[in-house]
Every structure is written in structure tokens, then in C-alpha cells.
Amino acid sequence: MSSASENTLFGMGNPLLDISAVVDKDFLDKYGLKPNDQILAENHHKALFDEIVQRNKVEYHAGGSTQNSVKIAQWMIQNPHKVATFFGCIGVDQFGQILKQKAEEAHVDAHYYEQSQEPTGTCAACITGDNRSLVANLAAANCYKKEKHLDLDGNWELVKKAKVYYIAGFFLTVSPESILKVAKHASENNKIFGLNLSAPFISQFFKEPLMQVLPYVDILFGNETEAATFASVLGFGTEDIAEIAKKAQNLPKENAKRQRIVVFTQGKDDTVATVGDKVTMFPVLDIDQNDIVDTNGAGDAFVGGFLSAQVQEQPLEECIRAGHYAANVIIRRVGCTFPEKPNYQ
């Protein structure tokens, strides 16, 4: 039995139904996609969603970055159920029903804001070899409203119950005011607030809301590409990942009781993390290239594993070890899916 209790972990983000299929280079070229990227769908991508569904062997999985992470955290912890609370917006439709059912099966305490203006969001994962190009059609996920959901007494009580908070940077495009309310609550009550850089476009095009939230961030996550973009947007003047981690750690912070932790993953290369005033490299678990099925969700899984240890107040090294384990499991499978139980000691 873990030391975590119900609703200790709080996540808020874009609940999406992942639609994954193996495609070829022609498909990527047709829609102007890079093999390994994540973007928001524009008008010329609309046909992509219809086309990918027509292709052979489409898999549907409950997704969305933050929801993936809290689901993995719950899986790592196993018992009790409902350690994680999740908020986000869905549509009143079949995909929305699937998301509700999948959240329940994963024992996540999901409280969705449901509206009928927009359909439930989807994310097309276009897989070529080891690469995955993600195209998110936020739709309903984009309709989250602070005053219609987060501010409601019953919902805010769930927020207050948590000790650790995590939101992917993707949500900065939807409801920065919701993120700020949660982040300030965490900071004022000396709780832990984690944020992910999520994708290069967040630092590039949503720098203003990102920098508004950053002073409240206790743990900043990202991968090497996101870290490099963040550094260039902020004019750090370095491409060295350890230097970037250090500079990000030293950006202004509201709650001085907690030193900011910065954790950057680099695929198969060492994970870089600030430990106190030093930057340390943590090697990932070895894996045979042939065992890698799908790297989609590896970053989300890392965060999920990390958070599962964090809510149990484990030291940073343990959090990273749990993150590496979860990511290692996820990349052997299609989508952000996992076996019934973790084999983790």
C-alpha cells in the first residue's frame, strides 16, 4: 500500500482521444508534418483526421498529455484508487463517453467540464518507424472555463485537497487564468506545482502566459528540444542542456521555501536535473532498439512515474528512477498504454 491518499495529486489539461496509426512519408508530406513533432491542427489538417481513421489498424486510446501523466502515476501507485484528480473539458458525444470510461478504468478521479458547443478533442498520432508526429485538434478541450468549472465550490475543494499539482504547458493555450489560480494556491500553501514545457511552440508563441506562471513553478519538466527552444526564446545564450537547466532554476520564484527543480529528459541520453545547486546526469534504463514500439507518451510516462514517487514524498533521485521505469515500459507498447501492474521495486 502506498503512502499516497485519495486526491493527493491534481492534474488539469486537455483531455484528448488519441487516434494512432502507422503512416508513410507521403502521408506526412501531404499534410506538411515533420516525423517527430507536436502541433495544433489548422484548417488544412481537418481532412487528416478523416483519412487516418480510414486507414488500417487504427488504435484509440484516452490521451492528452496531463491526463496520460496522472494516469501513469495512478498505475505506478496502484492502491488506493483515485490518488489523482483530473480536470479538463470534453464534448457530449461518443468520444467523450470513451474518455470517461477510460479514466474510470484507470482509477483516475476525472471531473470533466462537459459542453455541447464543441466535440471532444482528438489527437492524431502519425507513426513512422520510431517517430511520431502528433496533430492535436483541441475542439472541446479548448473550451475549459475557469468560472464554469474550476471556481465551483465542489471542484475547488478537490484542488485544495491535493499536495502535488501538475499541468502540461499545452494548457497555457487554453486557460492560463485557471493555471495561475492553481499555481498561486500551491505557492501560497507551500505545496508542489509542476509544469511541463510540452512543445517548442509553447515557448515560442505562448511565452507571455508561460512567464506569468513560471514564478510559481517548483518543478519544471521538458525534453532537450523544448529546453533548447525555451533557452533561445529567453536569450540564455547557451545550447548546453546543463547550463539551460541551471539558468531555468534561477529564474524568479515566488515561494522561496522551495528551490526550483528542473528536469530535462533527452530520449535515450541521460536525464539532466538540478539537485540543489548542482546539475546531475541520470542515465536512463538500457533498452534494445528492437524493443521500442512507440515513443509516443514516453515524456508523459516519465512525468507520471516521477509524480508517483513525488506524492509519496520520495527524494528526487527516486522520482527520476520511477520516471525512467515508467517511460521504459511505455515505449515498448503502442500509445500511452501499460500492462496491468508495474513490476517496480
Active site residues: 300
What residues does 21 pair with on adjacent strands? 126
CB contact at 8 A, 61 and 337:
yes
What residues does 274 pair with on adjacent strands? 279
CB contact at 8 A, 245 and 227:
yes
Element (H, E) at 96: helix 94-105
Element (H, E) at 196: strand 192-196
CB contact at 8 A, 132 and 295:
yes
> Could you please report the per-residue DSSP string of 109-142?
EEEEEEESSSPPPEEEEEEETTEEEEEEE-GGGG
Distance CA 112, CA 93 (A): 13
Distance CA 345, CA 334 (A): 24
